Structure 1
Amino acid sequence: MNLSQSEWTQRLSEDDNAVILDVRTPEECAEGIIPNAINIDIYKGQGFIYAVQELDPNKNYYVYCKAGGRSQQACNIMNELGFENTYNLMGGFMNWEGEKTV
């Protein structure tokens, strides 16, 4: 599900079962991340799928990348793997106005 930053942030703040997933490259993550995010680089291809399969499918995943395209793709892959609740941050990290850590 595609969510605007305000919708994404609102849902995340009210969700006790949330996991923030950053699907950017390590180089992009060096520019900063959303606090408490775990990073699994979608460019790892099959490695990304293997890593995602290690995650708990009963959690709610708030997914982002730089602009929103890769995270949408990641949500689609996760849905195919049986993850029911994936939320894509439209506009991605480059438009993120919330807290960041480096």
Structure 2
Amino acid sequence: MFGLFQGSASTYKNLTPAQFSAALRQPGAVLLDVRRPDEFAAGHLPGAVNLDVTSPDFTRRVAALDKTQLTYVYCRSGARSATAAGQLTKAGFGQVHNLLGGVLDWPEKLIR
């Protein structure tokens, strides 16, 4: 574990690409790509759901998700996903993980 960041009520964990990849193999994990739809369409991690963190309806769409599931977030470089991870923890999500370096540091092939 590289870092533990305080949210208002909870924390999220930053994971290296290797840690993130291993963690995604757990059953029931939710994978969120918080980039823009055009970035998602250009290539994303298998099984990812696109929820643009800069979209006005991000908070409403996140509210529909199960807060008890393991949640993994990523973006292009790790900055927007860190913002999203903070918002998720503030919204009551218990287990949130952020991909350090985003897809720029992701060693595996992205899908379209």
Coarse TM-score class (shorter-chain normalised): over 0.9
Compute the TM-score of the two structures, normalised by the length of structure 2: 0.85
Aligned to 1:16: 27
Q: Which consecutive residues of structure 1, in runs of 5 or more, have no partner in the other structure?
A: none
Which structure is higher in helix share? 1
Normalized against structure 1, the TM-score is what?
0.93
Distance 2:23 2:51 in 1: 22
CA RMSD of aligned residues (A): 0.9
Aligned length: 100
Distance 2:23 2:43 in 1: 22
TM-fit CA distance, 1:88: 0.2
Q: Counterpart of 2:19?
A: 7
The runs of 5 or more residues in structure 2 that have no matched partner are 1-12
User: What letter corresponds to residue 25 of structure 1 in structure 2?
Assistant: R
In 2, distance between residues paired with 1:95 and 1:26? 20
Matched, 1:30 2:41: yes
SS in 2 for 1:42: coil
Question: Which structure 1 residue ranges, 4+ long, deviate > 2 Å from structure 2?
Answer: none
The match for 1:91 is 101
